[in-house]
Amino acid sequence: MPPVNSIVCVKPVPDPRRWSELALDPVTKTLRREGIPSVLNPLDKHALEEALRMKERFGGIVTAISMAPVTATDSLREAIAIGADDAVLLSDRSFAGADTLATSYALAAAIKKLGKFDLILCGNQSLDGGTGQVGPEIAEFLGVPHVTYARKIDLLDRGIVRVERALEYGYMLIETRMPLVLSVVKEINVPRHIPLMRISEAMQAEVRVWTSRDLDVDSSRIGLSGSPTQVADLFLPVLKRRGEMLSGAPDTVSKLLVQRLRELAVI
């Protein structure tokens, strides 16, 4: 079995434990996220783990890639601390405001520049946007197959890959070939534990930063202007309910609740 060179797409996302602090600017209708630290998207750690296991088994190079503001450099250093050999950050004002299509287009261009690859691994979706679109869109731009919801990956001889793809009612066993894009779900593995010490040591590691000028891209297809979708409005969800609090001893309050639910004919 020849070495397997993997590219792992990672995304820094605002720490979900702090999401309740996200605030809407009522005037600009944009999201205020200052002071909320970023973490690596959890599923991307499973993608990285899978790439590292293949490298440990077959050899090869693992490259982490992301498109994000330059503050994301630390997230890529974290990927290096976990075990990635190399890291590339696409960061440029001209990339800002990209939707999934413009993001995938730029990432595909960067992957072409990186050269030959066998596998591109992604988390099945990000925690913040949660679209799960970037993996299949990169695959289309690169003209390679893709499999999403991958929960088990077996590399066979001659570049043949068998993938268990999770479904609502079970799974589908797929046979395909490298190069390809795989989007993984959390059942695929348990990511290794990295001591904080190693992460802080890696904060000196070099991350290559590429701008749009480093890539062979059509400038009308990147960033906000290259994004077909536009956010027209942001708002906080309104939850309207009766809000009646029932109190009393357990027996009393149970009777009261059952009575209310009977009045509304829901039981």
Residue list 99-138, contact with another protein (CB under 8 A)? 99-101, 104, 127-137
Q: How far is the CB of 174 from another protein (least distance, A)?
A: 6
**Cβ-Cβ contacts under 8 Å for 240 (sequence gap 6 or more):** none
Angle of CA points 193, 198, 204, to nearest 5° = 140
**Minimal distance in Å, beta carbon 7 to another protein?**
18
Single-letter amino acid code for the residue at 157: D
Quick one: tokens of 107? 């990432």
Count of residues engaged in binding another protein, rule: CB under 8 A? 78
Q: CA-CA distances (angstroms) from residue 255 to 59, 68, 86, 248, 252?
A: 66, 55, 64, 10, 5
Looking at 47-55, 82-90, 94-102, 190-198, which segment touches another protein (CB under 8 A)? Answer: 94-102
According to the binding rule CB under 8 A, does residue 233 interact with another protein?
Answer: yes
Cα 129 to Cα 13, 31, 188, 257: the distances in Å are 9, 13, 22, 38
Q: Applying CB under 8 A, which of residues 180, 184, 207, 217 lies at the interface with another protein? A: 180
Asked whether position 190 contacts another protein by CB under 8 A, the answer is no
CA angle 165, 16, 197 (to 5 degrees): 90
Stretch that binds another protein, among 47-55, 80-88, 144-152, 201-209 (CB under 8 A): 144-152
Using the rule CB under 8 A, which residue among 141, 152, 199, 209 binds another protein?
141
Sole binder of another protein in the list 74, 94, 145, 199 (CB under 8 A)? 145
Among 162, 198, 206, 224, binds another protein (CB under 8 A): 162
C-alpha torsion sign, points 108, 113, 118, 119? negative
By CB under 8 A, what part of segment 212-231 binds another protein? 227-231
Output 25 or 56, the one with its CB closest to another protein: 25
Tell me: does residue 245 bind another protein (CB under 8 A). yes
Q: Give the amino acid at 225.
A: S
Query: Strand 160-167 and strand 146-155: pairing?
Result: antiparallel
Longest Cα–Cα distance in the chain: 72
Using CB under 8 A as the binding rule, the residues of this chain from 25 to 84 that contact another protein are 31
Closer residue to another protein (CB): 208 or 260: 260
